[in-house]
Structure 1
């Protein structure tokens, strides 16, 4: 064999970078892959000067030719090195041996990889969306705040202040870790963890109230998250109310305390004389009695403009219960008007009758403190009477029992005290409050006469009439 023939045989089997780069335009070279029937690498110099690399193989009588890529002709040129070409050729040889059609197999692989890539992108996008959703989900504290905001304008300011106090003291102050949790993650055991310390310290009524508030907050989150009327954009994604699994443990003690006639007479005649009781608050307590036991919080919040002295009626914005607000009309007697005159004389510049600062009505807790101060004073004792403990709420019950003893029927009593009424009364009377004003006037007249009989030793109504503020109702 000549030297030239030996060189050509070498080029057909094992090539070097030098020999490949030496290929002239249109010239080819072949390098066999290791092993029998594994195919070969085919190099061809293109008119552009680049060298293309192919994998070639015969299988089942068919010729397979598949382009590997472009050979890297220099260190700075683009393409594959000889080592990379050989590695790629061996991969293609394996594919051809195992799967036959290289192009079809690679197309299927590419399609599978594309599907996998798209699946990864979808999974990533879903994970990102879930992360954003989780980040946007509100905490228990935010849910409770949302619930408070939903009650503004529907419940009175005292109730809103109580909810705000509960959030600050009982939740954010005592259960910081739990209230920072996502509301969706709150379980019944977390609710128990919040309530147990309150229960254990003996504040069972407070524990029951907080349970009720939390239940209402979660119900709000469940029912109104997607409401068009909802102002907050927070999401909670609640699936259930975790408070529902916590039973209501506290059974409130039925309140039955009412002042007897001697106690009521003693209180009426001396509360304004007790130095420990402020003059405005003392007259407020008497005004509650003189109006047949109206609710203290409702009396407190009404300004002078709610009093119509021409018609002798107080118009209360009734907000009790879950229904729409409605007016409750309370007839004013000479006794109650005299107390208003005295309150105006004490604080004539205030927009509210029952105010000590002029900046707002007295706090709801003030009447209770005043009663406690009177009970501690010497005025709560007389030769025949020692007044036992009572609260301002008991004055309402006292007035109700006075009406019962004087044969004022229950329906009339309920109308005057604005109890929750149902059936015919609710349908016909609460629909137009002025339609039941005559009946209330009659009830108030009979009650006032009965009260007069109890307070025979009280001071007679006298004195000049004081002019009320110009902004009062006429």
Structure 2
């Protein structure tokens, strides 16, 4: 209970306040109807209050601790007096509302505003930038075992990180179609339209990933993107660029490659054997071949399990039959790499890089260009590893393999739970029949022998 005033005065001094004994108070009037400034030594220290009457009942509002010495904390007498006069003015301006209730409401309102400000600041800090989005997308590609992850990462580095670093700091939700055009335009300017389409496709996929990532329960606590649309969708794709990729090797080109690729400068046994295996296996994807381990090869049953990561089906096994031609290639690799985990490994813990296969075809083309130049012939047309798979598909057709069996052999569209657990060996007989027809056609092509078909086949 508040003790009765020890002394009431018009203007207090510091000496009067410091002389207060425990339990005593002293007040300074602020004028009629304005209340008073009260000092109370309750338990040792002196606290200052603004006091006013509500009816016959006194109401105290704490100002704070009075500073008795310069070395102690608190408010000076002048500070306390100014605060009391401020509240007296406020009390008059808000009348008939009660001052203490008003201040309580204001305090609660301020606390709520501060809480909301903190929430917004935390939300803003959690908003991912374009750089965050691209890095997260690359991480997810690695988790999913996507073959193109390194190529995609290098593409982002080359076309965004280095030339347009400021875009990486921009919030992903604030990226506009104009920003995407700024990324793609340099590629279009130098005529790299195929590459432009691929960068566009990667960016589109990254934003699709970001839109779903915000609602992924496994990503709680990670950066959020708050995307409301995909800015890449409004940019134009050059459909004519991809349509030009339809290169098919002639019989002579495929024969020359298969029989002589090992003679190419700086192309060793492992890389030349990889090229031959791509041809001999009816155009299996090189990355799937590169990842195989020796334990994946069943020479007794004459089949191999490849790991496919291409397409929307995720990681899946794809079993193909082994032919005598493939086994001959593998025996050569066993003599060279038999002590390594797989035929296409360069060290005990590392398979050869897919990039090196690209170099094989570059050097092969350079050799052919040089030979043609010396012979006074036109420069030969270039082809890449991708064209081997397409050429093999045409050979399968020429060999009389049904389209559905050709798709099985080349692992086109083999997705879904049923196929993941059932298709691996169930379709192996159909694949064996297909590879036998293919091998017969390939043998004709590589040896140059003609196979005359019954006229009724045409």
> Which TM-score band (shorter chain)?
0.7 to 0.9
In structure 2, which of residues 402, 426, 430 is the aligned counterpart of residue 409 of structure 1? 402
Instruction: Tell me what 1:301 maps to.
Output: 291
Query: What corresponds to 1:449 in structure 2?
Result: 440
Between 371-380 and 382-391, report the one with greater CA deviation: 382-391
- Partner deviation per Cα, 1:289-322 (whole Å, 9 max, x = no partner): 1111111121112222221111111111222211
Distance 1:389 1:275 in 2: 17
Q: Deviations over 1:11-39 (max 9, x none)?
A: xxxx9989xx9xxxxxxxxx9x9xxxxx8
Q: Match of 1:317, SS?
A: strand
Q: Distance in 2 between matches of 1:227 and 1:40?
A: 63
In the other structure, the counterpart of 1:464 is none
Deviations 1:332-386 (A, max 9, x none): 1111111111122223322221234454222222223212322332697699998
What residue in structure 1 maps to residue 236 of structure 2? 247
Matches of 1:383 and 1:446, distance apart in 2: 39
2:248 paired with 1:268 = no
Q: What's 1:7 paired with?
A: none
Contact 1:278/1:370, CA 8 A, preserved across alignment:
no
Q: State the shift of 1:412 in Å.
A: 1.5
Count how many residue pairs are aligned between Structure 1 and Structure 2. Answer: 389
Partner of 1:27: none
2-structure distance, mates of 1:352, 1:41: 92
Residue among 367, 387, 390 paired with 2:383:
390
- Structure 1 window deviating more from structure 2 (248-257 vs 401-410): it is 248-257
Alpha carbons 2:274, 2:344 under 8 Å: kept: yes
Question: Residues 28-427 of structure 1: matches in 2 within 5 Å?
Answer: 105-156=95-146, 158-230=147-219, 233-251=222-240, 252-377=242-367, 388-420=381-413
- SS for the counterpart of 1:234 is coil
Q: Is 1:434 the equivalent of 2:425?
A: yes
Shift of 1:133: 1.8
What CA distance in whole angstroms lies between the structure 1 residues aligned with 2:200 and 2:236?
9
TM-score, with length taken from structure 2: 0.72
How far 1:434 sits from its partner (Å)? 0.8
Deviations 1:266-303 (Å, cap 9, x if unpaired)?
22222223344322211211111111111112111222
Higher Rg: 1
Superposed CA deviations along residues 420-459 of structure 1, whole A, max 9, x for unmatched, are: 2599xx967984221110111111111111111122269x
Instruction: Name whichever of 111-120 and 446-455 sits farther off.
Output: 111-120
Check whether the contact 2:313–2:415 (CA below 8 A) recurs between aligned residues. no
The 3-state SS of whatever aligns with 2:282 is coil
Give the structure, 1 or 2, with the largest relative contact order (CA under 8 Å, sep 6 or more): 1
Structure 1-normalised TM-score? Answer: 0.70
CA distance in 2, matches of 1:256, 1:333: 28
State whether residues 400 and 437 of structure 2, in contact with CA within 8 Å, keep that contact through their aligned partners in structure 1: no
Q: CA deviation at 1:65?
A: 8.5
Contact 2:161 2:168 in 1 (8 A): yes
| SS of corresponding position for 2:232 | helix
Instruction: Give the Cα–Cα distance (whole angstroms) in 1 for the partners of residues 292 and 164 of structure 2.
Output: 36
Aligned-partner Cα distance in 2 for 1:41–1:120: 26
Q: Return 5+ residue gaps in structure 2 as ranges.
A: 1-8, 17-28, 37-50, 61-67, 69-75, 450-458
Question: 1:47 maps to what in 2?
Answer: none
